[in-house]
């Protein structure tokens, strides 16, 4: 389950919360948290492995089979967030990423945490496949 | 351009505005109007031609090359809308759909109008292709 | 955590997966699962309590503080899903809803499960508040 | 209507197309183009006027009453786009923004154009109101 302690991060991403991610309750729509986290993961891939598009058409696919989030503080339109990515469970054909989202205006405030669990599948055989080495390198780096 | 007069409709679809389509201004996020319209188009395809999924993998593709919308009344979370679809320009390899969105609580109130312009392309040659007959039949029906 | 056994449901909702909920991997974008679940919850509120909009402007608010999902089968554009809602933990000022999503074409196939955890807060004092009775009635009904 | 010639821009914004903005046809979901454009507008506001959140709670509101888009080239997940914003019609209580979206990998390629038309309304009287001066200054700057 979601870990509250701050793990060593392998990537950090800054984003502003767009109007399109909010809802009529006046805050972030809960499901859009995953869009923000996944965009941070895509930025990590671009910087440290390959752009996501390469994985959409390659030999292996990396579907998300589980995800979780906890909301600790309201997140508003135009808030600047820093999303720290850290590695959770890592196995031969799967990995988990933990996301810690901090409001960065006036000191770091932990607003939300999230987790995505990815498995690596051979596109053709549909069997589990080992994670590609550049992805393992990205996940096990630290900053 | 968008036509304000009410054309004969070929399909009508009822939907409730979900929280996920609203934004922190308290109303429908303008870009989500197209999601509502496209879902109505998908319901029309399912009822009168083939489910959209069939067109995602078939010989022809139907990309949208232009779209427009006008907003006339605020649209709120939980509003019940009726979306009337009518045919605009129809050519051998393209068509336009006009959408009239009415709030249906307490008498019809025109809230927004929209338009999508689709072209028909052969998936392999990338050349213009004639619209499939079941699609023309759906577009030229009237209710 | 997410419960795999099928609990007694208090509501059931049918929906078709729209193109707008899919991504370039060809299946449902994982974060959109929560949009589908929340729309089913909104349909339950409309049928058994009050439309969600009433709760957006009333004395209490019902923010989601935690959510989870597990994906068991790929979900495609135009798939027809049945979403069964059942009650998880129920306390004086919080509740959990479990969602079981079944593909309904050719026999029920469990595609995904999800959970949302809501707390009830007084809008003005920001303190925990008892759940409104019509909501408790809705959650504890069974069909 | 949408202008094809390149107007002097007042702001330019770089973004990468996230998976969440694509659909199962393998390209950008047409309605998400407006999310990308609006995020660029929000970045312009932040840099040259006030963050959008200030306008969500202030004396005036700036609803979009019309929008349009034309798609010229397919836009894929992980594409890097430059969005140039230029001023269209400017009146005492309304303005239009034109968006030119260029793929920036291997030379600028115009992928899409869009337009949003905003009106300025007094929140309380619901009457037209003059645009705030910092917004006019932002719109009439050039880079």
Instruction: Tell me the C-alpha distance between C123 and C59, whole Å.
Output: 6
* Burial per residue of A126-142, b for 16 or more beta-carbon CB atoms within 10 angstroms, e otherwise: eeebebbeebbebbeee
What is the pLDDT averaged over residues B83-112?
95
pLDDT in the model for residue C4: 59
Distance from CA of B114 to the nearest CA of A (A): 19
CA distances from B25 to A49, A81, B129, C68, D123 (A): 38, 20, 43, 27, 11
pLDDT tens digits along C70-93:
999 999 999 999 999 999 999 999
Instruction: Tell me the C-alpha distance between C23 and C17, whole Å.
Output: 12
C30 in A contact zone (CB under 8 Å): yes
- Provide the mean pLDDT of chain C: 95
DSSP labels, C61-124: E--EEEEEEEE-S---TT-EEEEEEEEEEEETTEEEEEEEEEE-TTS-EEEEEEEEEEE-EETT
All residues at 6 or more sequence positions from C91 whose CB lies less than 8 Å from its CB, including other chains: none
DSSP 8-state secondary structure symbol assigned to residue D78:
T
pLDDT tens digits along D75-109:
999 999 999 999 999 999 999 999 999 999 878 99
Measured between CB atoms, which of D16, D19, D52 is closest to A78? D52
**pLDDT band for position B3 (50/70/90)?**
low
What is the pLDDT averaged over residues C44-61?
96
pLDDT in the model for residue C81: 98
pLDDT tens digits along B48-88:
999 999 999 999 999 999 999 999 999 999 999 999 999 99
> What is the complex's ipTM, to 2 decimals?
0.95
Contact between residue B18 and residue C38 where contact means Cβ atoms under 8 Å apart: yes
B77 in C contact zone (CB under 8 Å): yes
pLDDT in the model for residue A2: 61
Instruction: Tell me the C-alpha distance between D123 and D129, whole Å.
Output: 9
What is the pLDDT averaged over residues B129-143?
94
| Residue ranges of E strands in A35-93 | 60-61, 64-71, 80-91
- Provide the mean pLDDT of chain B: 95
Q: Above pLDDT 70, what percent of chain B?
A: 96
D53 in A contact zone (CB under 8 Å): yes
Tokens, residue A65: 């089979």
pLDDT in the model for residue C39: 98
B15 in D contact zone (CB under 8 Å): no
Instruction: Tell me the C-alpha distance between C33 and C81, whole Å.
Output: 11
Contact between residue C128 and residue C84 where contact means Cβ atoms under 8 Å apart: no
**pLDDT band for position A143 (50/70/90)?**
confident
Instruction: Tell me the C-alpha distance between B51 and B42, whole Å.
Output: 7
| Number of Cβ within a 10 Å radius of residue A121 | 18
Measured between CB atoms, which of A19, A26, A76 is closest to B29? A19
pLDDT in the model for residue B6: 61
CA distances from A122 to A58, A130, B82, D77 (A): 9, 9, 44, 21
Chains that touch C (3 or more CB pairs under 8 A): A, B, D
The answer on pLDDT for B44 being more than 90 is yes
Instruction: Tell me the C-alpha distance between D136 and D140, whole Å.
Output: 6
Distance from CA of D70 to the nearest CA of A (A): 20
């Amino acid at each position: 389950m979601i870990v509250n302690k701050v793990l060593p991060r392998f990537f950090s991403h800054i984003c502003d919360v767009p109007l399109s991610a909010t809802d009529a309750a006046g805050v972030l729509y809960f499901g859009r948290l995953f869009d923000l986290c996944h965009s941070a993961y895509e930025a990590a891939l671009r910087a440290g492995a390959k752009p996501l598009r390469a994985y959409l058409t390659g030999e292996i696919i990396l579907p998300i089979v589980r995800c979780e989030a906890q909301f600790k503080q309201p997140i508003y339109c135009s808030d600047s967030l820093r999303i720290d990515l850290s590695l959770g469970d890592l196995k031969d054909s799967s990995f988990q990423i933990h996301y810690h989202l901090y409001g960065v205006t006036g000191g770091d405030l932990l607003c939300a945490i999230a987790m995505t669990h990815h498995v690596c599948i051979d596109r053709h055989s549909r069997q589990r496949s080992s994670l590609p080495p550049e992805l393992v390198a990205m996940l096990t780096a630290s900053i």
